[in-house]
Structure 1
Amino acid sequence: MASWGEIEKEAPEFAAKVRARFDAGTNKTIATLRQDGSPRISACEAQFTDGEITFGMMSDSVKLRDLRRDPRLAMHSPTLEPPEDHPETGPGDAKLAGLAVETPPPPDNPHEDAGFFRIDIREVSLTYVGVPADHLVIESWHTGHGYRRRTRT
């Protein structure tokens, strides 16, 4: 697993594109696992802070209980629709997966029992329409494999 800073060092151009997708809006989608193992998706805010991806959630939220029980998660960037007549100019979608690691609350935290986390990243991907607009481009980074770029028609 890796910190965001490690991915930035290993694949800086890729990391910059992924970060731009995540920074394109406030609300990200987080996937956690319910007690029975089925998936749960929820809205979440996340930040890139000191080489880490960090996020927090309200005390007693179901997603907080999910992560304290099972730290596996996936996170998706805000979804922005590409222009219908020029899909190759759209931003694409970024995703990552890994483990949530609980961290101490920030010093100015007014929310008792809220949960604060950083992500130990296992994989990151970025998918977008290529030029010409007849294929998809998939860029990814995986623990142990590093950066890859491939296309699909």
Structure 2
Amino acid sequence: MSSWKTFAAEAPELAGSVHARFAAHLHHVLATIRRDGAPRVSGTEVKVHDGDIWLGSMSGATKGADLRRDPRLALHSSPSDTDLDAGDARLDGRATLVEDPDTRARFAATLEDPGVMDGADLFLVDLDRATLVRVRGDVLHVDTWQPGRPVTHVERV
């Protein structure tokens, strides 16, 4: 597992494209694992800050409970363009609940309304994989990064 900073250092072009997809819209899709093992899909906001990727959850929300029980997750960018010219990004990783008051306060200070973090869960995401899918003509291009490995590129017609 790796930080966003590591991803950006190992695969700067791909990290820039993935970041652009997540920065293009406020709301994204988070997949977690329910208590019974079934997948759960929820809306979420994602922020890349200080070399890490962060996400929050309202206090008592099921997605936060899922992540505290089983930290595995997938984050999917909001695909806004129907032709996927800008790409469709996905991050796979694990979430760690941030309980340190100083870290929480520093993160909250980066928000438009720091008060939204009062009582909310804050998670730091460690990355296992980042994927960007783009369509060029009739060809699907899939670029994937995993920590310590070169970016792989697959084309499908």
Q: Give the TM-score taking structure 2 as reference length.
A: 0.87
Q: Does 2:143 correspond to 1:148?
A: no
Q: Distance in 1 between matches of 2:12 and 2:118?
A: 37
Q: Residue deviations 1:70-117, cap 9 Å, x none?
A: 0000000011123xxxx47x2120001110011135225545432101
Paired position in structure 1 for 2:111 = none
Paired position in structure 2 for 1:97 = 92
Q: Quote how far apart the aligned CAs of 1:144 are.
A: 4.5
State the AA in 2 paired with 1:101.
T
Between 136-145 and 55-64, report the one with greater CA deviation.
136-145
Q: Residue deviations 1:25-50, cap 9 Å, x none?
A: 00010000000000000000010000
Between 41-50 and 102-111, report the one with greater CA deviation.
102-111
Are 1:80 and 1:92, in contact at CA under 8 Å, matched by a contact in 2? no
User: Helix, strand or coil for the counterpart of 1:25?
Assistant: coil
Paired position in structure 2 for 1:79 = 79
User: Helix, strand or coil for the counterpart of 2:93?
Assistant: strand
User: Helix, strand or coil for the counterpart of 1:146?
Assistant: coil
State the AA in 1 paired with 2:130.
V
State the AA in 2 paired with 1:94.
A
Q: Distance in 2 between matches of 1:34 and 1:144?
A: 30
**Aligned structure 1 segments of 4 or more residues deviating by more than 4 angstroms:** none
State the AA in 1 paired with 2:150.
G
Paired position in structure 2 for 1:6 = 6
RMSD: 1.6
Q: Counterparts in 2 of 1:1-153, with a 5 A limit?
A: 1-82=1-82, 87=83, 90-104=85-99, 106-107=104-105, 110=115, 111-130=117-136, 133-153=137-157
Give the number of aligned pairs.
146
Q: Quote how far apart the aligned CAs of 1:120 are.
A: 0.6
User: Helix, strand or coil for the counterpart of 2:131?
Assistant: strand
Are 2:10 and 2:148, in contact at CA under 8 Å, matched by a contact in 1? no
- Higher relative CO (Cα under 8 Å, sequence separation at least 6) belongs to 2
Q: Distance in 2 between matches of 1:7 and 1:81?
A: 25
* Structure 2: runs of 5 or more not aligned: 109-113
Q: Distance in 2 between matches of 1:145 and 1:16?
A: 17
Q: Quote how far apart the aligned CAs of 1:118 are.
A: 1.0
Q: Distance in 2 between matches of 1:53 and 1:144?
A: 18
Q: Give the TM-score taking structure 1 as reference length.
A: 0.89
